[in-house]
Structure 1
Amino acid sequence: MRLTKFGHSCVRFDTDGGAFVIDPGVFSDPAALDGAEAVFITHQHPDHCNDPELRRLLDDQPETTIYGPGSLNEVLGRLPFTVVSEGDTIPVAGTEVKVIGRQHAVIHPDLPAVANVGYLADGIFHPGDAFTVPDEPVRVLLAPVAATWMKLSEAIDFIRTVDAPVVHPIHDAILSKDGMVLVDRMLTNLIGDPFQRLTDGETVTI
C-alpha cells in the first residue's frame, strides 16, 4: 500500500490492484484523481469535496465510483454517487474500506450539523472532520491538526486516544508556513515518534 498526500485532507492509496482517493477538495491537487477507480468523500464541505473536479473526473473516467454520505447530493446534484454509512465495507483496489462515524465535529452551535463518515483502509484511518475513534486497532492515523472546528489540544487528545504507532497530519491548508512549524513542534513534543509529517506530494509505503 502506497499512501500519497495531495494537499490539505486529500490522500491517495495505490495498491497492486488499483488506486483510490479520499477527500479531493479545493485545497488539494486534482492530479490525485488521475486513474483512480474510486473516490471516497467524508462530507460535503468544499475543502473535502471539489465537485467541479469530480465532474471532470467522471467525464474522463465514467467507470470511477464516488462514495459518500447521502448529504453529498446537496453539492453533487445529479452527479452519480453511492451512499455509504457507518458499518459499510467497500471492496476496492484489492483491499477493503470500512466506513466509521456519522457526524461532523461541532463548528458552532448556531450552525447546522452535517453528516461525516471516516474511512479505514488496511489499518489506515481518515476521520474526515471528526474525532471518531474506531473500535479496532489503527496502524496509521491521518490526524486533522488545524480547522475552524477544533483546537490543537483536541487533536492531541484524539491522537493519544487512537494510539496509532504512526500519525500523519492532514487538514492543514489553513496554516501559514510559520504556523505549521509551530504546530509540528508542539505535536512532536507532545506526541513524539509517532508524529511524522508528509509534505504535499510525498509518498510512503505502508
Structure 2
Amino acid sequence: MRLTKFGHSCVRFDLDGGSFVIDPGVFSDPAALDGVDAVFITHQHADHCNDPELRRLLEDEPETRIYGPESLSNVLGHLPFTAVSAGDAIPVAGTEVKVIGRQHAVVHPDIPAVSNVGYLVDGVFHPGDSFTVPDEPVRVLLAPVSAPWMKLAEAVDFIREIDAPVVHPIHDAILSKDGITIVDRNLANLIGEPYQRIADGNPTTI
C-alpha cells in the first residue's frame, strides 16, 4: 500500500487492486483524484469535500464511486454518492474500507455539530475531524494536528490513546510554514519516534 498526502487532510491510497482517496478538499491538490476508483469523504466541510472538483471528476469518469455520511447531500445535492455509516465495510481496490464514528468534534457549543465518519483501511486510520478511537488496533494513524476544534493537548491525548506505532500528521493547511515547524517539534517531543511527517506529494509505502 502506498500513501500520498495531497495537502491538508487529503490522502490517496494506491494498492495493487486500484486507488482511492480520502477527503479531497479545497486546500488539497486536485491531482489526488487522477485515475481513482473511489472517493471517501468524512464530512461535508469544504476543506474535506471539494464538490466542484467531484462534479468534474464524475463528468470525466462517471464510474467513480463516492462515499460519505448521508449529510453529504447538503453540499453534493443531486450528485450521486453512496451514504455510509458506522459499521459499514466497503470493498474497493482489492481491500476493505471500514466506516467508524458518527460525529464531528465540537468546534463550539453554539455551532451545530455535523456528521463525521472515519475510515480504517488495513490498519490505517483517517478520523476526519473527530477524536474517534477504533475498537481494533491501528498501525498507522493519520492524525489531525491543527484545527478550530482542537488544541495541542487534545491532539497529543488522541494520538496517545490510539497508540499507533506510526503517526502521520494531517489537517494542517491553516498553519504557516513556521507554524508547522512549531507543531511538528512539539508533537515529536511529546509523541516520540512514531511521529513522522509525510511531505505533500511524497509517497510512503507501508
The normalised TM-score by structure 2 is 1.00
What are the equivalent positions in structure 2 for 1:34-183 lying under 5 Å apart? 34-183=34-183
CA positional deviation for 1:128: 0.1
Listed one character per residue, the Cα deviations across residues 10-31 of structure 1 (whole Å, up to 9, x for unaligned) are 0000001000000000000000
Q: Name the aligned partner's letter for residue 33 of structure 1.
A: L
Is 1:185 equivalent to 2:180 in the alignment?
no
SS in 1 for 2:110: coil
Q: Name the aligned partner's letter for residue 177 of structure 2.
A: K
Q: Name the aligned partner's letter for residue 188 of structure 2.
A: T
CA positional deviation for 1:59: 0.3
Q: Name the aligned partner's letter for residue 175 of structure 2.
A: L
Is 1:199 equivalent to 2:199 in the alignment?
yes
In structure 2, the partner of 1:29 is: 29
CA positional deviation for 1:202: 1.1
SS in 1 for 2:125: strand
SS in 2 for 1:96: strand
SS in 1 for 2:32: helix
The normalised TM-score by structure 1 is 1.00
Q: Name the aligned partner's letter for residue 87 of structure 2.
A: G
1-structure distance, mates of 2:152, 2:96: 31
1-structure distance, mates of 2:141, 2:69: 21
Listed one character per residue, the Cα deviations across residues 82-125 of structure 1 (whole Å, up to 9, x for unaligned) are 00000000000000000000000000000111000000001000
Listed one character per residue, the Cα deviations across residues 138-195 of structure 1 (whole Å, up to 9, x for unaligned) are 0000000000010011000000000000000000000001110000000110000000
Identity score, percent? 81
2-structure distance, mates of 1:20, 1:129: 19
Q: Name the aligned partner's letter for residue 33 of structure 2.
A: L
SS in 2 for 1:75: helix
Q: Name the aligned partner's letter for residue 11 of structure 1.
A: V
2-structure distance, mates of 1:15, 1:198: 18
Q: Name the aligned partner's letter for residue 136 of structure 1.
A: E
Moved over 4 A (4+): none
Q: Name the aligned partner's letter for residue 143 of structure 1.
A: A
Which consecutive unaligned segments of at least 5 residues does structure 1 have? none
- Give the number of aligned pairs: 206
2-structure distance, mates of 1:170, 1:51: 20
Q: Name the aligned partner's letter for residue 175 of structure 1.
A: L
SS in 2 for 1:147: coil
1-structure distance, mates of 2:13, 2:98: 14
